[in-house]
Structure 1
């Protein structure tokens, strides 16, 4: 409680105000009681003293009303403060969302340029929320990092989203399948040209993952390849979650694949193979 008050100046001001009001009320009440005792204890006082007693009693009643009123105000403020504390201490709702594809074809320009919602005059529907638009929003919510592990990447809108994050200095790492980087329409070359770090798997099997981790807290995974066909034509699914128990294994898997597919490590292993062959020949 003390730590939260110290960290929040507005809350500290409220607490100080309540304390001041309470002290003021207590002091007034005490002075009123003392006045009644002093005046009421002099039985031989004159008529003037008697009138003062009556006036004091009237003042006491007035102060009693004020004390009760201020007490109710203090109680109301205390309850509001308590509700505010409970809301601050209560953990936020964990995001869990499921998206299904194919997605309706709509204009998504307003997602990339929210300050100019009417900047596009194409013939597609505008301002319609779809599975694809929600996916774009989740990707663009990244503020520090995006780790992307995807089999095929040819969707230009998804590429535009990644490039937008790169322009905002978000750290981006991309892992993809080496065979599908050369297919027609692949956006991997565009990402590399923009200066985004991309690694291809060096294994003999397909790198068939389709997941992304946003800011190390948000997982996007499912059957969806990042292609136009998958978004507009195929029956696909996407799961978006902030559940730590689900996010952490994907972070660990991405880091493992990222290290294993380091080009420098791969080239070092190739450079060592001729030396081993020569040594075996000499034997």
Structure 2
């Protein structure tokens, strides 16, 4: 009888040990998979006047500069959401990507300067017409931010949230005629600070009314 009790005890211990090992190995593989998918992003994209090194684009029907291609690459990256806080948006390639994201089911929110919402070529009206939430604040002060947040609302461990910020407006002049810069980073503390700033503005600003 004692022999059987000891045997059952040993079998129980062996089973628990084996199960623990399986669980440990599973989570170790899981951690490696997450690390492979969540690569850190740190890149500075610079734009300069007279850049003639044009290339065929994956995201545009036109040939574009390498800097423009990198910008379009990151803008095409959202899997869950994109929050945009931009003084002015008139570039057609950027507008087209945002429309495609919207119809892919990506959640888009746009904050824009009130005066620039009405400027020639602004895509704010087009986006709002197609159901994208757009907010502004009528004021004598400019809404002069130029940043956007990618996948910050994603509840997915395989997705890397990142922010794009710098001097660049999304206009033809800025993208092909000015000296500009955009920093793209997934550094968590910076992304969170920009996210807090966006949410504060989203509450403060009001839904746009083009009627």
TM-score, normalization by structure 1: 0.56
Give the greater-gyration-radius structure (CA): 1
Equivalent residue in structure 1 for 2:195, among 229, 251, 254: 251
On the 8 A contact 2:55/2:66 being kept in 1, the answer is: no
Equivalent residue in structure 2 for 1:241, among 176, 179, 185: 185
Equivalent residue in structure 1 for 2:59, among 83, 99, 111: 111
- Unpaired segments ≥5 residues, structure 2: 1-20, 153-160
On the 8 A contact 1:153/1:187 being kept in 2, the answer is: yes
Cα separation, 1, equivalents of 2:125 and 2:31? 50
* 1:115-162 Cα distance to aligned partner (Å, 9 max, x none): xxxxx6x7x47xxx7111111111111010000000011011011111
Equivalent residue in structure 2 for 1:205, among 126, 137, 141: 141
Displacement of 1:178 in angstroms is 0.3
Cα separation, 2, equivalents of 1:235 and 1:156? 20
| 1:136–1:4 CA distance, 2 compared to 1 (3 A) | farther
| 1:86–1:104 CA distance, 2 compared to 1 (3 A) | same
| 1:7–1:196 CA distance, 2 compared to 1 (3 A) | same
1:98 aligns with 2:34: no
Displacement of 1:186 in angstroms is 1.0
1:176 aligns with 2:196: no
How do 1:131-150 and structure 2 match up within 5 A? Answer: 131-150=67-86
Cα separation, 2, equivalents of 1:168 and 1:207? 28
Cα separation, 1, equivalents of 2:104 and 2:30? 35
* 1:2-56 Cα distance to aligned partner (Å, 9 max, x none): 4244569xxxxxxxxxxxxxxxxxxxxxxxxxxxxxxxxxxxxxxxxxxxxxxxx
On the 8 A contact 1:175/1:198 being kept in 2, the answer is: yes
Cα separation, 1, equivalents of 2:76 and 2:192? 21
Displacement of 1:233 in angstroms is 0.3
* 1:217-254 Cα distance to aligned partner (Å, 9 max, x none): 11000000010000000000000000001100100000
| 1:160–1:108 CA distance, 2 compared to 1 (3 A) | farther
**1 or 2 for the larger relative contact order (CA 8 Å, sep ≥6)?**
2
Displacement of 1:86 in angstroms is 8.8
How do 1:1-283 and structure 2 match up within 5 A? Answer: 2-6=22-26, 93-102=39-48, 104=52, 106=54, 109-111=57-59, 124=63, 130-216=66-152, 217-263=161-207
| 1:3–1:250 CA distance, 2 compared to 1 (3 A) | same
CA-based RMSD: 2.7
Higher helix proportion, which one?
1
Higher strand proportion, which one?
2
